[in-house]
Structure formats: C-alpha cells, structure tokens
Chain A
Amino acid sequence: MNASGNASNRKGKAAATLVEMCSVRLGQTLFGVPITHILEIVGSARPQPVPLAPPFVGGLVHYRGDVLTTVSLRQLLGLPPKEGAQDILVLESAGGCFGLLVDSVGEVLTVSSDDYEPNPSILDERRRALFAGAYKLRDRLLVALDPERLDPMRLSAAQMA
C-alpha cells in the first residue's frame, strides 16, 4: 500500500489532481471518504444489533427496501460505543453495499494529491490496515478511508487470519 501511495505522490508532483472527500468526525480525528464511493448519507440512524455477529458489525439498518449491514468505525478503532443515534455513510465496494457508522458527517473538502502522504510507519498495525494514508490540511490531518478496506467481508476475513 505504501508503494501505491508513493506512486500517486510522485505523479501528483507532475500534475496535482484534486479529490473531493466527505469529512467525517469520530472522536478527535477527522476522516475523509472519497465522495465517488458514497451512495448516500443517512442521518441519525439507530441500527438494530445482530446477536453473535462479528464485533465490527454495528448492526442492521433499513435502507431503501433493503437491509444493510453496517460497520462500526468506533469498534474498529477500539473506541467505546457512542450513545444515541449515529450517522451512516452508505458505501459501495466490490463486495456490494454496506454502511459505515460514524459520529457525524461534516462538509465536503477538496484536497490535492500534492498534500497526500502514505500511512506513517509508527501507526499500529490495525490502523495501518484500515487507513489509506492522510492529506495534510492547513491546520490538521485528514485521514483517508478506503471503502474497500472497510468492506465487512474483508474485515471478517482479516479477523479469521
């Protein structure tokens, strides 16, 4: 993953590309998900828990006539669960649609590939596997999330390993 990050970095120096990221707040960190992967944002949802499901599953929500499995970002990062309703990003990945449970969804930021850095080496292994590098904003970092890495099937496979 670092290799690909470097590659895009180098290319970025030649001609910077702009990426639109939906910012997401969770705890103290600002995350960003490329808007091209977001199908819809569902506000203040209360997912139905699924007994015996893998821990990262945040529950089920009803989404446009279908039942959507959600992934709890808090749980993935080892944070305590949040009381009350949470926002859901409906994401599209190779394995189908799923929901990402986050504390709250912020505005859409336009970031430049010039400001991209891959994951730092001192990041713990679990986070390194989840994050797709970071963008340097003027006053803080925007941690990039890649929907493919958050896909429940992939998470479940990783958990088994």
Chain B
Amino acid sequence: MALDELTREFLIESQEGLDRMERCLTELEERPTDASLIGDIFRSVHTIKGTTGFLGFKRLEKLAHAGENLLGQLREGKLLADAPTITGLLKLLDGLRSILKSIEVESTEGDGDDAGLIGLMEALQAPAQARQAVRLKAGAHRWTAAPAGAGLAPLAMAERDSGPPVQPLETAQEPVAVSSAAPAPTEAGSDDAKPRAQAPAIGTAAESTLRVDVTLLNRMMNLVGELVLTRNQVLQATASDPNMTLLSRRLDMVTADLRESVMKARMQPVSNIFSKMPRMVRDLSQSLGRRVRLHMEGQDTELDKSLLEAIKDPLTHAVRNSMDHGIEQPEVRQAAGKDPEGTLKLRASQEGSHVVIEVSDDGAGIAVERIRQKAIERGLITPQRAAQLAERELLQLIFVPGFSTAAAVTNVSGRGVGMDVVRTNVEKIGGKVEIDSRAGKGTTLRMRIPLTLAIIPALIVRSVNQSFALPQGALSELVHVPPEQAASAIEWMEGAPLYRLRGKLLPLVFLDRLLMPAGEHKPPTERDNFIAVLDADGRCFGLVVDGLADPEEIVVKPLSAVLKDIGLYSGATVLGNADLALILDPGSIAIRAGVAMSSEEDQARASEGETDAEAAKRLEYLLVEASGRQAAVPLADVLRIEQLPLSRIEYIGNRPVLNFEGQLLPVEDSGGVLAPAEGNPSERSIADRQIIVVVCREGNRHVGIAVSHVLDVAAGGDLFEAGTSQRTGGVTLLKNRVTGVVDLGGVASLPLERNAPCELGEFEEAAR
C-alpha cells in the first residue's frame, strides 16, 4: 500500500495524461486529421513509457511501447485515425488505466497478460489494405487469452463496459462511433486551424499552475474565516482610535481580498466532470446502438470543488437516462422524421449565486399520459386530481421515490430510473432539479447548484438564550405574534399548537420546548412569538422562536460525530460578534416534531387555490392603527414596513418627509401620529419615540404612511350601499368592521420636479 513519493507523483501525472488522452481521442474522432491532437496523445503515452521504464514497471512499459509505435505511425501520417484505430486506442487507454489502478491499490502491476492488446496495437499498424485480414485474427485472441490474475479483474470489467469485445472489429467498416461520420469536410477544415492556435496557450497555462492538496485548501479556508473574525474584533476594538482607522481599514480590505482569493482557489471548471462525458456517451451509444452527437457548452463555468464532486453522479445518471430512454434508435428516429443522429446537450452557466447545469436531448420525451395513468394506478393521485394537473406538474411526479423505482412504471413511462436519487443528491447540496419534456421533442433536466457549500445565507434566531442559524433556503416567511395577541392567534387542538396562516392551519413547533423538554417555558401569552414559516422538503410548519436577529452569510463548520448524532443540527458557525451558533436543520426538526409531508391532495388544493389567491391578493389589506383609529392599506401596494425614531422625520415647510435609502418619501400623516404626544413635552422623548412608516407604491412614486401600529393582514370584503347595490369606494369590510382605505393617490406630491431624481442636496436647500 505504501507508495513512495516518486511513484505517487507518477500515478497522478499519468492519470492526468490519460484523462487528456481520452479527451483528445474523442475529439480526434471528429477531426481525424488534427495533428496537434495526435501529438498530444502521443506525448501522454510516451511520458508514461519513459517514466515506467525508470520506475521498473515492465508490464506497463511494454504496453505503452506498443501503443507508442502505433501512435508514431499516426503522427507521421502513415496511418489515418479511423474508427477502429480510435477504438483500439481507447482499449489501450483502459488497459493502461487498470494497470495504474493496480499499482495504486496493490503496489504491483498485477500479472495480467497484455499480449492481446499488444497484438491489436501491432495489427492496427498494418497498412489499411492488409488490415482486413489481420484484424479478424487479432480479434480472435484478444483478451480471451488473458489468464485470470489479480490485476486482470479491472481489465475485464473495462472490457465489458465498452461493449462486446468482438463487435468493434466486425462493424469496423461502418461508423459505429459517436459521430465519426458526421463532420463534413468543411467543418473539419475550419476546426483544424483552431487547435493549432490554441496549443501554445495550453502549454503556458500548464507551466503557471500548481497542484495543491485539497485538505490544504480547506485549512486555508478555515484560517481565513478565523482571520475575518479576528479582523472584526480588531475593528471593534480600534473603532474609537483615530490613529488606527487607516490601518484597520487596510486590514479589512486585505482580509476581504484574501478570503475571496481562497474561495476562488477552491473553484474548478465544470469541464472537470464534463470531460468524462464524451467517452461515456461514445461507449453507451455503441452498447445501446444509438447514434448520438454530444454538445457541451459553458465548460469554464466554475463551481466549488466539493460540489463538483457531488454532482458527478447525478449528472452521469442524467446522461445515461437520456441515452437509454430519451434518444431513440436511429431507425425509429428516421421513421419519425428526425435526424437519425440524436443530440445530447450539456450546458453549464452561472445565474447569480447558482450554477445551472442542463442535460437536454432531442429524444422521445416523456409520455405524460402514461405518467398520469400510472400515478392513478399507483394511487399517488386521484383520477379527478390527475385530470386537472398540468403537464409540467405531472412531470414532477417522476421524482417521487415510489414512482420511479418500480420497474413496471419505468418500462411504461420509458424513463425515470432513479430520478429520485438524482433529486436527493442535488438537494443534499442545497440544489434544485427541474424537468421539462415534450413528447416527441425531447427532455431537459435542469439542476440548480449553489456556487459554494461553505457559505450559506441564514437568519439568526434566538431561543433558550442562545443564537441559532436558520438556513434561508427553507424559510418562506416570518410572522410576529406579540404576547397580547398570542391567546387568540395561536390555537390549540388538544395540546397541538396551530396558527392560522391565511386561513390554513399551520402546525407550530416551539423551539425552546423542543430543545429543552424538561425546562420551564413561558407561555406564548407572556412573551414575543416569532413564527418562522418553514418548508422543509414538503413539510410545512412554523418554528416559534423568542427573537430574530439579522440575516447573515454564515460559514458552515462541521460538528463532531457526537453532536451530529443529535440530529437537529447540520453544523455550527461563528457569528460576526464571535459568538457560536448552531445551524438548525429544518427537515430534522420537522421529523422530530412529527410534522408530516403535506400530502399530494394538500399540494393539489394549494395549487388549485393559487389562481384564487392571486385574485384575492388584490383584496388583501394591511390593517393599521393611527392614533386609535383603524385604517386599511391595500397589501399589494405595500413595499416595506419601517420602524424608526420620530427624529428621522424631517419637514419641508409643513410637509413631513422621510429620507429613505437616499430617496425622499412624502409621509402621509392624517392620523396625527407625528404630532407631539400630549402631556409629554420633553424634547428628548419626542425625538426618541418610535413610529412606524408603511412604505407604499403609488403609481410611479413611493409614499410613506405614518401609523402607530401595524395590526394584521386581512382579506377585505366589498361593501355595497344599501338599496343601490353599488360598490362603495374608500371603505372595505375587514374582520367584520367597516374600515377606511387609505387613499394613496391623495398623498400630495413633493414640491420637486417630477422627472428630476430626488437629490438630497437639492432637498436640503429647499428645506432651508
């Protein structure tokens, strides 16, 4: 097992060489005359041969030597890189790989016999006209002669993977390859120029890069995190010292830059996994009898190393699925009036903080009707429900575990083996999977992957006198229930707490009770309740916490096994104030508290209700109170609710205005909230008084409404004037009370040029 440094170095280098060779070989198939590709392949094999001789790996040396001879002929232009040659070279590649593997695992080359493979290399060197005869002879003793040896097992496996051994020889005259027949001469010609121009650039890139151990990178990432925290503390400590300002600002900048650089160092282009695909597609198309052209786009898109590892399997699975079930046999395609050669597209692109990876084929697509039938048969949905579901919704059913694992379903639906596995793997790293398919046109699988796993946005919440981090991904909304409203807002059904969220009952989980089952807990009526409405893999519930702090981008630190076993925490993090916080795992909390997955029926009802909800939204109002009177603001117009000290309100003449994020808001104060409170003449207390401004959209401008409290959100009912059946304006029925609706249009605009942007300077002059 123990390999010396030299051998290890050799193994890594050879693997890289072979990876490059594999890439080049699949490219060579499309551009058989490209000399730079052949040169590259030759170099890879030559390097291996040279080093093995030095290290004393005789078997490897002999095999590499045979391959080198063949490649030498190709390089000199004596032979043409036709399909059988490339197939042979791929076999050579597999042979070399399995010996390397054996060296890595057992420190020996194994005692397999490579005579067959070497024979094939020699046979392929024979001039083309003489080949036909030799080829069959070579095929006869290829591989079959190999005795059973320790090092041979992987060889045999590689052989099986790439299809029946004799097949490539028998069909050698026909293009079995991925697309060897496809490239028209013109295409090949235009491509020829490109690689040659690129070649020197590749050379210099290799010289300026350095291989670094991933554990070292992880360590660096940790240390940078540490540095960030130390910096925060230094900044706090030196804030009052003017001499230090410049220094600490510099420290701040350098730390931020360093952190970014280290994060970048962990990023790798998706080409690292994409590059394995051409070979896979080639092998699969041979064994499945498909003709497939592979298109890859956006290979320089970068992703964190660990995430790249994590999506390797789902991507492989998706490609296999597309090849196996998506793209039809050439005859079938031809009969359907399609190009007999199918197209498989891999696309990677960055969208904000996510990387999107698409696998699309132009195959048969998914027969949605079949899914519908099967879903009903398996009792996943009711027939009535099935009739209503849109195609897109039905497609998502292939991700349901029970749906895709059963062979019967798979055979009929034609697709979906282990699609739930794809989804599980991608969701494990915080990603999302979508599928889109049109019968007869093709299928697209889209994976959305977060850029990095190490840093996630989270909301910091407080409970049991501690801070916890709640991943934003699962959070859908926050509801505040003050103690005086808790009695009515939180309902109990035989000990099960529930909250009516827009008319639906939401199960509640009290975090303090969950974490400290034995402790004393204040009833909800004696404390502030903040309900974080969470959706964890279909389990919807409200997590009740004591307080909310700021959202933060947190660096996830793993927990020791003992604490992982508790099951409720997915990690820990260090907050900006150097406190530690445990990261809550919403899914486990839901399971621990017994929150069930919302059933298909529920989801159905929810989506049915969606259109109604859209309509209802126009009628929803924010119920506010200003100096004892209640009023309603249309919810659709509300942008933000800001709590701020009264001193923030400034005046232009008599008009109260608010400088809000650099913009000027006219503030409507019909309720008299801004007026100094009676019997409280002290200047100071007036300035400190907190008021609430509801920021609303009115046409193209924003206006603020000063209120003393925000009470609730409620659906308004239309009121009709008695006798006339005419809808009344300006009032609505909220919670069975007639409530005035604030007329946003009536808020007078500011005395500024309408079209000019609101510049603060101007305004200050105006105020003077």
Contacting residues, chain A, for B224 (C-beta < 8 A) = 65
Contacting residues, chain A, for B225 (C-beta < 8 A) = 65
Inter-subunit contact B222/A95 (CB<8 Å): no
Q: Does A43 have its Cβ within 8 Å of any Cβ on chain B?
A: no
Please name the residue on chain B nearest to A50 by beta carbon. Answer: B563
Chain B interface residue count, CB cutoff 8 Å, equals 30
Contact of A67 among B466, B516, B565, B572 (CB under 8 A): B572
Contact indicator per residue, chain B 543-581, by CB within 8 Å of chain A (1) or not (0): 000000000000001111111011011011110001111
Inter-subunit contact B563/A69 (CB<8 Å): yes
Inter-subunit contact A67/B559 (CB<8 Å): yes
Which of A20-28, A54-62, A123-131, A132-140 lies at the interface with chain B? A54-62
Of A48, A52, A64, most B-chain CB atoms within 10 Å: A52
Give the complex CA separation of A117 and B560 in angstroms.
34
- Among A14-73, those with CB < 8 Å from B are 48-54, 57, 60-62, 64-69
Give the complex CA separation of A81 and B565 in angstroms.
24
Task: Determine chain B's interface SS by DSSP, over half rule.
Answer: mixed
Contacting residues, chain B, for A48 (C-beta < 8 A) = 466, 579-582
Inter-subunit contact B223/A69 (CB<8 Å): no
Q: Does B759 have its Cβ within 8 Å of any Cβ on chain A?
A: no
Contact of B578 among A62, A64, A156 (CB under 8 A): A62
Give the complex CA separation of A96 and B516 in angstroms.
28
Please name the residue on chain B nearest to A97 by beta carbon. Answer: B560
Of B226, B229, B572, B574, most A-chain CB atoms within 10 Å: B572
A48 to chain B, nearest CB (A): 4
Give the complex CA separation of A64 and B229 in angstroms.
10
Inter-subunit contact B226/A69 (CB<8 Å): no
Contacting residues, chain B, for A152 (C-beta < 8 A) = 560-562
Contact of B561 among A51, A61, A64, A95 (CB under 8 A): A95
Contacting residues, chain A, for B572 (C-beta < 8 A) = 60, 67
Inter-subunit contact A64/B226 (CB<8 Å): yes
Please name the residue on chain B nearest to A154 by beta carbon. Answer: B562
Give the complex CA separation of A62 and B581 in angstroms.
10
Q: Does A79 have its Cβ within 8 Å of any Cβ on chain B?
A: no
Q: Does A98 have its Cβ within 8 Å of any Cβ on chain B?
A: yes
Q: Does B752 have its Cβ within 8 Å of any Cβ on chain A?
A: no
Inter-subunit contact A156/B562 (CB<8 Å): yes
Of A49, A51, A152, A153, most B-chain CB atoms within 10 Å: A51
Knowing A52-B515, A156-B562, the reply to whether A61 touches B580 (Cβ < 8 A) is yes
Q: Does B3 have its Cβ within 8 Å of any Cβ on chain A?
A: no
Q: Does B464 have its Cβ within 8 Å of any Cβ on chain A?
A: yes
Inter-subunit contact B222/A65 (CB<8 Å): yes
Contact of A66 among B557, B563, B565 (CB under 8 A): B557
Contacting residues, chain A, for B573 (C-beta < 8 A) = 67
Contacting residues, chain B, for A57 (C-beta < 8 A) = 562-563
Contacting residues, chain B, for A64 (C-beta < 8 A) = 222-223, 226
Please name the residue on chain A nearest to B226 by beta carbon. Answer: A65
B270 to chain A, nearest CB (A): 28
Contacting residues, chain B, for A69 (C-beta < 8 A) = 559-560, 562-563
Inter-subunit contact A67/B557 (CB<8 Å): yes
Contacting residues, chain A, for B565 (C-beta < 8 A) = 156
Contacting residues, chain A, for B578 (C-beta < 8 A) = 62
Inter-subunit contact B516/A98 (CB<8 Å): no
Inter-subunit contact A50/B566 (CB<8 Å): yes
Contacting residues, chain A, for B574 (C-beta < 8 A) = 62, 67
- Among B311-334, those with CB < 8 Å from A are none
Inter-subunit contact A49/B466 (CB<8 Å): yes
A64 to chain B, nearest CB (A): 6
Contacting residues, chain A, for B515 (C-beta < 8 A) = 51-52
Contacting residues, chain A, for B226 (C-beta < 8 A) = 64-65
Contact indicator per residue, chain B 501-529, by CB within 8 Å of chain A (1) or not (0): 00000000000000110000000000000
Inter-subunit contact B562/A67 (CB<8 Å): no
Inter-subunit contact A66/B222 (CB<8 Å): yes
Contacting residues, chain A, for B560 (C-beta < 8 A) = 68-69, 96, 98, 152-153
A85 to chain B, nearest CB (A): 15
Of B229, B560, B561, B571, most A-chain CB atoms within 10 Å: B560
Give the complex CA separation of A152 and B579 in angstroms.
23
Contact of A60 among B222, B464, B568, B580 (CB under 8 A): B580
Give the complex CA separation of A156 and B578 in angstroms.
29
B464 to chain A, nearest CB (A): 6
B11 to chain A, nearest CB (A): 28
Give the complex CA separation of A98 and B559 in angstroms.
11
Contact indicator per residue, chain B 572-596, by CB within 8 Å of chain A (1) or not (0): 1110001111100000000000000
Knowing A62-B578, A95-B561, the reply to whether A53 touches B222 (Cβ < 8 A) is no
Contacting residues, chain A, for B558 (C-beta < 8 A) = 67
Contacting residues, chain B, for A54 (C-beta < 8 A) = 562
- Among A87-125, those with CB < 8 Å from B are 95-96, 98
Give the complex CA separation of A48 and B469 in angstroms.
14
Give the complex CA separation of A152 and B224 in angstroms.
28
Contacting residues, chain A, for B516 (C-beta < 8 A) = 51
Contacting residues, chain A, for B571 (C-beta < 8 A) = 67
Contacting residues, chain B, for A65 (C-beta < 8 A) = 222-226, 557
Give the complex CA separation of A53 and B567 in angstroms.
10
Contacting residues, chain B, for A156 (C-beta < 8 A) = 562, 565
B488 to chain A, nearest CB (A): 30
Inter-subunit contact B566/A52 (CB<8 Å): yes
Inter-subunit contact A62/B223 (CB<8 Å): no
Contacting residues, chain B, for A98 (C-beta < 8 A) = 560
Contacting residues, chain B, for A67 (C-beta < 8 A) = 557-559, 571-574, 580
Contacting residues, chain B, for A68 (C-beta < 8 A) = 560
Contacting residues, chain B, for A49 (C-beta < 8 A) = 466
Contacting residues, chain B, for A52 (C-beta < 8 A) = 515, 566, 568
20 more A-B contacts (CB under 8 A) besides A67-B559, A68-B560? A48-B580, A49-B466, A50-B569, A51-B464, A53-B562, A53-B563, A54-B562, A61-B580, A65-B222, A65-B223, A65-B224, A65-B557, A67-B557, A67-B571, A69-B562, A95-B561, A152-B560, A152-B561, A152-B562, A156-B562
Q: Which 6 pairs across A and B sit closest by C-beta, in order of nearness?
A: A65-B222, A51-B515, A65-B226, A69-B560, A48-B580, A152-B562
Q: Which B positions have Cβ atoms within 8 angstroms of A?
A: 222-226, 229, 464, 466, 515-516, 557-563, 565-566, 568-569, 571-574, 578-582
Q: Which A positions have Cβ atoms within 8 angstroms of B?
A: 48-54, 57, 60-62, 64-69, 95-96, 98, 152-153, 155-156
- Contacts A/B (CB < 8 Å), 14 sampled: A48-B579, A48-B580, A50-B569, A52-B566, A53-B566, A60-B572, A60-B580, A62-B578, A67-B572, A69-B562, A69-B563, A152-B562, A155-B562, A156-B562
